[in-house]
Amino acid sequence: MHWTHDFIEALGYLAAAANAYAYVSNTMIPLRIAAILANALFAGYFFLKGVYPLFAFNALLLPLNVWRLLQMKRLITAVRLATEDEFHSDWLRPYMRPKKVPEGVTLYRKDAAADAAYVIVKGRIRVPEKDVSLGPGAMFGELGLFADGQKRTASAVAETDVELLSLRYSDLMQLVTQNPQFGFYLMRLMVRRMQHNVALAALGRG
């Protein structure tokens, strides 16, 4: 029937438009939403056209894009919570990797290349240049990821056997460039860390 043909063609045009938007989108969440819409529309279009290999291809991509969208939204929520007064590493645990450091071992030295930020799960980390000891729940190392030359601003030494969670620089940078909202909340977290460091420096001069 004529209306059926028009409906199928409309599905195709809508799918193409959604796919084009996904390609030009600069942020991850709108991109994923457009990709999900394009997959659903293309799946319907190719099924009605009888092009089953392309129907199967889009049907397989659909749940993958839904999963990536949910993953991104969970990460944004976790980082938003991380900027509140009390930091809980459990919020970021799904996105970080475990690492153990024996007592007395230097995790990194000042001016070394910065490749990850860390959250302490168990034990204590000492920052000798600032004469500061960090305990469970503390996040550290994030400033070096964005410092000039991507160098560590201070050293970190295990005061005890330490269990950490790490977030790699490459993963963090990809999220920052693809999602401005993530970058905004990370910026707030870094500003608070810098304010804390300035306050410690002022106490040291007093």
Per the CB < 8 A criterion, the answer to whether 122 and 136 are in contact is yes
Q: Is the pLDDT of residue 135 over 70?
A: yes
- Three-state DSSP class for 141? coil
Confidence category of residue 43, pLDDT binned at 50, 70, 90: very high
Burial string for 75-96 (b: 16+ CB within 10 Å, else e) reads bbebbeebbeeebebebbeebb
> Residue ranges per domain, the chain?
2-82, 89-205
What's the Rg (C-alpha) of the chain? 23
Could you say which DSSP state residue 151 is in? B
Q: What is the per-residue pLDDT across 80-107, written as a single tens digit (0 to 9) for each?
A: 665 554 555 555 666 778 999 999 999 9
The CATH code belonging to domain 89-205 is 2.60.120.10
3-state secondary structure (DSSP) of residue 104: coil
For residue 179, the one-letter residue type is N
pTM, 2 dp: 0.52
Partners of residue 157 on adjacent β-strands = 106, 126
Alpha helices in 83-163 (DSSP H): none
- Tens-digit pLDDT profile for residues 69-78: 888 887 777 6
- Helix ranges (H only) for 25-126 are 28-49, 52-82
